[in-house]
Structure 1
Amino acid sequence: MRLRFRHFSWFRRSQRGSVLVETIVVLPVITIFSIGLLEFGTILWQRHQIQTGVRDAARYLSRCTYDAATCSKIAKNIAFYADPLGTAATPTPGERVPGWNGSPASEFQVTPATPAIGDVITVYAQTAYRGSPLFSALGLEETIELEYYHQTQVFGF
């Protein structure tokens, strides 16, 4: 019996293998926390891009003097691509937010459809967050909706 206690007390005082055990316990927690932090940052970045696009489109519409259909089309291109032509003349062409223009859950509205000088227009946009595969690997399959609206008064030129 004494022999068992002697080995047990040696095991309690020994430091061998403690780093491995601590790493095995802490590493999954740190990994999941890091993935969550990256996903949250991506959600905030995409929402910021939608806000910027909607504000830019609303500013354009508040000064636009063309017909309503042309103004709305150009404003939509400004919101989606940051380019009035819709071709994204930036070094890396593409949408501000991946899937914003092509997603069935995406929405872009301007009200009223034909504003007059002095009217207040509302530009509204919505899209579903398209996360990384790691987000769904954690079992978080629920859709996150990103939406934003901006109101401004129509001034004309």
Structure 2
Amino acid sequence: MLVEQLAVFLENKSGRLAEITAVLAQNNINIRALSVADTADFGILRLIVDKVELAREVLKKRGFPVNRTKVVAVAVPDRVGGLASVLEAVSGGGFNVEYMYAYAHRADGSAVMIFRFDEMDRAVALLQEQGFALVSTGEICAV
């Protein structure tokens, strides 16, 4: 089960992030999860939103380079060693974590981590075999 994520490349200058969030708000698009990584020259804003295609369209119209990528949302036990158990399973399978970020805490007592792996389909299969619950886009947008 894969979740669609938008990756927006933006100049590393004041106001660009505010502009993106304003554009999304003006179009009634809800941000459910995000991560920002930067370098000296540019940043990468990774977003999970409730209206992926509309968000992509409005951001492109405003001149932002936008890519769609697939990520995995994993319910991680919210306890000492919860994240370690997921990472141990992935490491044991020989997969590399390209990046990850936290999403939210769920009512069932788990946290949600968003992952991008070097081999997405195989990583998903391994996580499911190991009994980890994957979280769908619908579940992310419902929290």
The normalised TM-score by structure 2 is 0.26
Which structure shows the bigger proportion of residues in strand conformation?
Answer: 2
* Structure whose residues are more often helix by fraction: 1
TM-score (norm 1): 0.24
Higher relative contact order (CA 8 A, sep 6+): 2
Larger Rg: 1
